[in-house]
Amino acid sequence: MGRKKLAVAIPASVISDTPHLREKTAKIGLIGRAAAIFRVDEIIVYRDERQANQQQQADLIATLLQYMEMPQYLRKRLFKLDPRLKYAGIIPPLRTPHHPLNKKAANLKIGEYREGVVTATTPDGVLVDVGVEAPALLREKHLAVGKRLTVKIARVDGQVEVQTANRAEIPCYWGYEVTQAMENKALAELSEKFNLKIATSKKGAKFTYVAEKIAQRWKKANSILLLFGSPKKGLYELANEWKINLGDLADFVVNTIPEQGTETVRTEEALLATLAVLNVQFSV
C-alpha cells in the first residue's frame, strides 16, 4: 500500500480570536508550517457556526494557506494583488521539496520534479515557468496559459524540456491542498471520505490509553482525518450544536495534551501537538 493520505480539518472560526489581519496571517502561517512539517496532504476548512456566514473567514484562511503552499516563483503569476495578502510577507517559508532554492537551469537534474505554470503556447507545445531563467518546453498542446501543473525534468542541455507528472509518483512530500467544507452538514459529511477519523478534545481519552487501538486501525487505513475544534468551543460542544454525536462522527476522541497547564489550548497549538504525538507513534 502506498503512503497514507493525512488530512486535518480546522474550523473557519480559527482566526476569530485575532482581530487584526496581521495576527490572523501569522496564525495561519503557524498552521501551514505545522501541516508541512508533518506532511499533511489536505487542510480542510469547515463551517462550525450554524447561524453565521463564515465564507469570508474561510476564504481568507484558504487564500493564505494556498499562497503559502505555492512555490515563490509562481506567486506573482498566480496571485493578483489582494488586500487579504497585505501581510503575506510575515508568513514563514515552507522550505518543502517543491519549494526549491535553485534558480539556474544549468543546475537542474533529469528526473527532478518541479511545480510550474503555463506561460505561453508554441507550435511545439507550451512553455512552462519552472523557476529558472528561461521557461521549459512541454510537448503537449491544449493546455491553458496560467494553468499550474507538476512536471518532471526530461532534458537539460540546451532547451530545458519537461513532462507532466503525477504527484502520486513523487517519492517525497509535495505540499498540501486546501479545500472548504462550508455546507450545513459539512461536519458530518467530512467523516464519510476517510477510513480513520480521530477527533481531538480535552474531554477525550488520554492518547496513551487508546494508542494501541488506534495503531491497529492506522495500519489498515489509507486515508486519515484529524478533527480540531474552535478557539471558543471544543468538538463536543460543536457536535451538540449541530445535533451530531461526536462518537458517531469519529472513530476515536482523544486528548493529546493531557493535564494541560493552560485553561485552553489554541487550535494551532493542538494541531502541532497532535501531529507531533502521532508522528512519534506512527511516523505519519
Measured between its terminal Cα atoms, the distance across the chain in Å is 14
Measured from the Cβ of residue 101, the count of other Cβ atoms closer than 10 Å reads 9
Superfamily per CATH, domain 5-95+182-282: SPOUT methyltransferase, trefoil knot domain (3.40.1280.10)
Mean pLDDT by 10 residues, the chain (284 residues): 84 94 97 97 94 94 98 94 95 96 95 97 97 97 95 95 95 96 85 92 95 95 95 91 91 94 90 96 76
Question: For residues 273 and 282, what is the distance between their CA atoms, to the nearest angstrom?
Answer: 14
How many beta carbons lie within 10 A of that of residue 113, not counting itself? 21
Lookup: cell for 42: 489536505
**Virtual torsion, Cα 133, 37, 238, 251, nearest 10 deg:** 120
Residue type, 108: L
d(CA 18, CA 171): 38
The domain segmentation of the chain, as residue ranges, is 5-95+182-282, 105-166
List, in sequence order, the alpha helices (H) in 221-282. Answer: 235-241, 246-249, 267-282
- C-alpha to C-alpha distance for 144 and 132, rounded to whole angstroms: 21
pLDDT reported for residue 263: 84
Q: If residue 187 lies in a helix (H) or strand (E), which one and from where to where?
A: helix 186-190
Query: What integer pLDDT is reported at residue 284 of this predicted model?
Result: 56
Distance CA 210, CA 64 (A): 35
> Cell triple for residue 100?
526549491
Asked if residue 64 lies in contact with residue 84, where contact means CB atoms within 8 angstroms, the answer is: yes
Write out the H or E segment, with its range, that includes residue 234.
none
Residue 201: alpha-carbon gap to chain centroid: 21
Strand 136-138 relative to strand 125-129, pairing: antiparallel
The pLDDT assigned to 51 comes to: 83
Residue 44 has what pLDDT?
A: 97
- Per DSSP, 84 falls in state G
* CA–CA distance, 62 with 265 (Å, rounded to integer): 22
* pLDDT confidence of residue 14: 96
Per-residue exposure over 23-41, b if at least 16 CB sit within 10 Å of its own CB, e if not:
ebbbbbbbbbbbbbbbbbb
**Cα 24 to chain centroid, rounded:** 17
CATH architecture of 105-166: Beta Barrel (2.40)
